[in-house]
């Protein structure tokens, strides 16, 4: 009977779990075995503090391997964008509201089709604009 009390105590003392909800389109969860070897994965994401965070952008099918650096358009119209995250921190408030999105979405395949217009990086100075979608639906990095 004593062990049942200990089990109940152990279960209630853990940290609060913050679910991330729906993973971004064509993304795969790295924490559940997602890999760029899976042709259905355009990017790998990790659930961090209730938000999907881009871990790796996968190379288009047939090109072999993954990509996380800038480059030209690949198969399927994907052009890798690399955001400088030197000053990145966590905990910016208030949360972004659509059509504003975190910087990691800009690094995904065809981010301007996601409904996002501007992309922000959380820094010690607050949210900073790092990229936007132009009138042609292309990601443009802020200078």
For residues 48 and 4, which has the higher predicted lDDT (pLDDT)? 48
CA atoms within 13 A on the CB side of 39: 6
**How high does pLDDT run on average in the chain?**
75
Domain ranges of the chain: 22-141
Task: Judge whether residue 102 has pLDDT over 60.
Answer: yes
Instruction: Indicate the length of the chain as a whole number.
Output: 143
Q: Read off the pLDDT of residues 49-63 as tens digits, 9 standing for 90 and up.
A: 778 888 888 876 544
Q: How far is residue 137's CA from residue 133's CA, in Å, rounded to a whole number?
A: 6
In this prediction, residues 69-77 reach a mean pLDDT of 39
Expressed in angstroms, the distance from the first to the final Cα of the chain is 65
Q: Are 28 and 109 in contact (CB under 8 A)?
A: no
Residue 15: pLDDT band (50, 70, 90) is: low
- SS3 annotation, the chain: CHHHHHHHHHHHCCCCCCCCCCCCCCEEEHHHCCCCCCCCCCEEEEEECCEEEEEEEECCCCCCCEECCCCCECHHHCECCCCCCCCECCCCCCCCCCCEEEHHHHCCCCHHHHCCCEEEEEECCEEEEEEEECCCCCEEECC
Q: Which of 3-7, 105-109, 124-128 has the highest mean pLDDT?
A: 124-128
Q: How far is residue 52's CA from residue 31's CA, in Å, rounded to a whole number?
A: 11
Q: Are 88 and 120 in contact (CB under 8 A)?
A: no
Tokens 């003392």 belong to 13
Percent of the chain with pLDDT over 70: 73
Q: Which of 25-34, 60-69, 71-80 has the highest mean pLDDT?
A: 25-34
């Amino acid at each position: 009977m004593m062990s049942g009390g200990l089990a109940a105590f152990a279960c209630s003392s853990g940290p609060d779990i913050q679910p991330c909800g729906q993973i971004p389109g064509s993304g795969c969860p790295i924490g559940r075995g997602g890999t760029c070897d899976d042709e259905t994965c355009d990017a790998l994401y990790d659930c961090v503090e209730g938000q999907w965070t881009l871990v790796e952008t996968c190379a288009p099918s047939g090109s072999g391997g993954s990509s996380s650096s800038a480059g030209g358009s690949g198969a399927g119209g994907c052009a890798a964008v690399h955001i400088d995250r030197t000053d990145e921190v966590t905990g910016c408030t208030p949360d972004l509201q659509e059509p504003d999105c975190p910087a990691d979405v800009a690094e995904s395949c065809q981010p301007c089709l996601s409904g996002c217009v501007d992309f922000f990086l959380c820094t010690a100075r607050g949210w900073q604009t790092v990229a936007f979608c132009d009138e042609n639906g292309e990601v443009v990095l802020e200078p």
